[in-house]
Structure 1
Amino acid sequence: MRTRVASSSLVGVAVVVLAGCGSGERGSDAIVGAGTSSGSAAPSPSAADGGIERPVIRLPKDVKNVFEGRTGDVAKDAVLADSERGIDAESDAIVRGTPASAALRFYNKGDTLMSEVKYVQSFLDGGISYKGTIRYFDRRVTIVDDKTATLVYCADESGAVNTDRKTGETRKSGQTKRDDNYVLYNTRLTLNSKGVWQSTKGFSKRGAVSCLPS
């Protein structure tokens, strides 16, 4: 399981709870796209991305994010795609140890950006990184209006472990319950002037019943 630490203790970050949802961890405890981390974040315009110049993200081979389920709806899938890129940006910032990552700022703003920076910093403070696979599933998008959407989804972190940032050796997690591998996320996204869906507010709940395997 991937966990946030500071010194040798688990810590939490203040969260913004979306209307109609319970309290949780993230804004506090997160997370990350199938994909791609490099030492630089050079822009990469692509016709498939509407010509938007996006930071390049290339994750190492031992870090993988798997996203399940697209809707077939163009608008909703655009939200999912930028959410995936934002999650990859978080993974990239963690493994490279860069809280000031340009990619984090590209896909997040406001409360979520502050939470992301603190989250990445907690890994640095604890002297850890992580490796393994995190699976994102049961993703549900609601288009509120032409510039606002909400996204609720689950993450399975059972395939990821913390590692010592210097030695690369596996670190023992401070959380031992199986259910703590499963995290519910509820995020709000807004469409910016560049056409990018940015996460702006959200929360997470570790061990949420709705995300547990049957």
Structure 2
Amino acid sequence: MAVAFVAATANAVNSTTLPLTWPAVSSGHVALLGWSGLSTAVWTPPAGWTLLDAVTADSGNHASRVYWRPCDGSESGTITLTHDTLNKQSAVLIVWSGVDTATPIDAYAVRDENTAGTSHASPSASATMAGVVAVAMVSERVTDSTPSYTAPAGYTIRAQPTPIGLGGSVSLAMADLLTGTGGATTVTPGAWTGTVSTANVLTWTILLRPLVVVAGASPVPSAARRLRPLLVR
């Protein structure tokens, strides 16, 4: 079953709470939630979501998290993300169909930028099967952060809130490439391009597993396996 984009939502605030409105979803869809903000804050995770990883950058008091959730069709209303202290934070929520609901993440990697510039490389992640779809995310925390990132070549930005400006501004964008891999291979999205020269950037590569369909049977989720995350510095 081919993976397809369904819907997205995003928000950026200067507050202790960040509300995200659920888009219309159906049972069998899978959602990713990216959330970035002040690393020294206490983060209260959203109920009903599984944390993929929480990464703190080497500079800029910058942290970024990704959560995932298989949808059952009851999702509606507002998701509230909470920090214990007022700060600028941003979040994106993307929904796809055709993703394995039991084990949606095939592999992922995170890169902590160490050189100031406007171009930020994406990390490599290794797919274990054919049909895997790549998701790329960039997170930046710096004064008057990038208002509009350019995605890696071939990728489509699905969500990118306008960041709140001035000090501690947080930019966040998530994009995908729906052309699935031809087999087990290494996936390296291109670089993200911003408008602010900074090293306070984290980039993510997340590979979504397709739902396997057996002829004459219902879609079969892939067997669960242990993820082996990679953090590149």
Give the TM-score band, short-chain normalised. Answer: 0.3 to 0.5
TM-score, with length taken from structure 1? 0.36
Whichever of the two has the greater Rg, that structure is: 2
Q: Which has the higher helix share?
A: 1
Which one has the bigger strand percentage?
2
TM-score, normalised relative to structure 2? 0.34
